[in-house]
Amino acid sequence: MALDTTEVVVIGAGVMGASVAYHLTVRGVTNVRVLEQASTPVAGSTSRSAAGVRHQFSTPTNVQLSLHSIARLKQFRDEVGYDAGLQQVGYLFVIASDIDWKQYQRNVTMQRELGVRVDLLAPQDAGRLVPGLRVDDLLGATFGPDDGFCDAQAVATGYLSRARALGARLHCDAEVTAIVTAGGQVVGVETTHGRIGCDVVVNAAGPWAGRVAALAGLDIPVRPVRRSLFVSETFPHFPTPIPLTIDVGTGFWMRKDADRVLMGLARPDEPTSFNTAVDWSWLPTVLAAGHARCPALACARIDPERSWAGLYEVTPDANPILGRHPSLSNYVDISGFSGHGIMHSPAAGLLIAEEIIDGRAHSLPIDDLRIARFGEPQHGERNVF
């Protein structure tokens, strides 16, 4: 493949499309067009994320994606020229059930073997990290001091800006309405601005990835599922930084957002939809779980103006789909991150650039993440909230 003439169309200008465009352009593939259906880039799930970053996953593949990605988010300004807003306040998983505690201790062993700094804490030590946390029913906790959160908008905008400076072109208001194939290859896309020929097409359409794949006649199991996030008014009970805290038993989580508290809890019966209105009917359940774990939260008043909802891009095993499609080899997926896409965007964009330029991703093993896995027994990610 002649690098300087390869035309790559990236569908979607969220963090994944931006990261792919960046990693292609720094490798010399500069004929990159990022097509975005919205009137501005970074308008999809990326703009609605809680932006947590953590090493504490249950599968080695996700831990490796985190190790690579968080190291690069730390150096983002030096590498990309923008501040990723990384705040390594830690992630604290608090655990009350015997089954979960055994599983999390096994996770810690695996995470440490891969080089992650992670501590097993006694309940009272967990209580010291979060004022007012209820710990009397806990068996223990795990704490990753290098975890935390970042600024998702800044990461996506940084990657996109750098890619454009290196030659990539961004087209907004450009919905891809068809993927044109001939002889078992993608030859172009139809957009609301007309047809664009290409050598490679990348599906970085986030929650819309299933729909976009269908334009090429492919079945990609990515479903949009709403998640509502609730933000309190100013909350003085947490005067200093606290870790992003997850009550594993209920799935309730919270972190500080400046001087407020951001909190959430996945609704198990949430249907597949593109609905992004905040689910106020779910708030009492979230608050009940929050008060039970941290009674001090009873004083927190929710600010309706600051709360929001967005779409997770969910796959059956809560892991992304990465790589070329076996039946259409110049169609490439980077989708289905199931709520952990921001934190894995540096590694994912690099791997997809390698898949396009070198024929196969090689910096990290991604065979567990290829579409072909859905025909085999699955070992999905358990730590998704």
Ligand X SMILES: Cc1cc2nc3c(=O)[nH]c(=O)nc-3n(C[C@H](O)[C@H](O)[C@H](O)COP(=O)(O)OP(=O)(O)OC[C@H]3O[C@@H](n4cnc5c(N)ncnc54)[C@H](O)[C@@H]3O)c2cc1C
The size of the interface with ligand X (CB under 6 A), counted in residues, is 41
Among 6, 14, 151, 290, binds ligand X (CB under 6 A): 14
Site mask for ligand X (CB under 6 A), range 166-185, x = bound: ---------xx---------
Q: Does 347 interact with ligand X (rule: CB under 6 A)?
A: no
Q: Which of 29, 266, 343, 351 binds ligand X (CB under 6 A)?
A: 343
Rama region for 352: left / alpha / beta (φ>0; ψ in -120 to 50; rest): alpha
Give yes or no for residue 307 binding ligand X (CB under 6 A).
no
| 309-338 residues near ligand X, rule: CB under 6 A | 310-313, 335, 337
What is the rounded distance in angstroms from the CA atom of residue 364 to the CA atom of residue 149? 23
Among 24, 63, 133, 204, binds ligand X (CB under 6 A): 204
Q: Answer yes or no whether residue 205 interacts with ligand X by CB under 6 A.
A: yes
Q: Which whole-number Å values give the CA distances from 14 to 9, 41, 152, 154, in the listed order?
A: 14, 7, 10, 11
x/- map, 49-68, ligand X, by CB under 6 A: xxxx----------------
Shortest Cβ 265–ligand X spacing (Å): 11
Per rule CB under 6 A, is residue 210 in the interface with ligand X? Answer: no
| Contacting range for ligand X; rule: CB under 6 A; set: 38-46, 81-89, 102-110, 129-137 | 38-46
Indicate the pairing of strand 200-203 with strand 328-335.
parallel
CB 56 within 8 A of CB 118: yes
What residues contact 113, with CB distance under 8 A and at least 6 apart?
none
Please tell me whether residue 213 binds ligand X under the rule CB under 6 A.
no
Among 16, 70, 278, 332, binds ligand X (CB under 6 A): 16
Among 6, 9, 10, 17, binds ligand X (CB under 6 A): 17
**Binding residues among 218-237 for ligand X as defined by CB under 6 A:** 227, 229
38, 120, 292, 296: residue in contact with ligand X (rule CB under 6 A)? 38
Instruction: Indicate whether 148 belongs to the interface with ligand X (CB under 6 A).
Output: no
Task: Provide the minimum distance between the beta carbon of 2 and ligand X in the complex, in angstroms, as a whole number.
Answer: 27
Nearer to ligand X, 30 or 203 (CB): 203
> Which residue ranges make up the site for ligand X (CB under 6 A)?
11-17, 35-38, 43-46, 48-52, 175-176, 204-208, 212, 227, 229, 310-313, 335, 337, 339-343
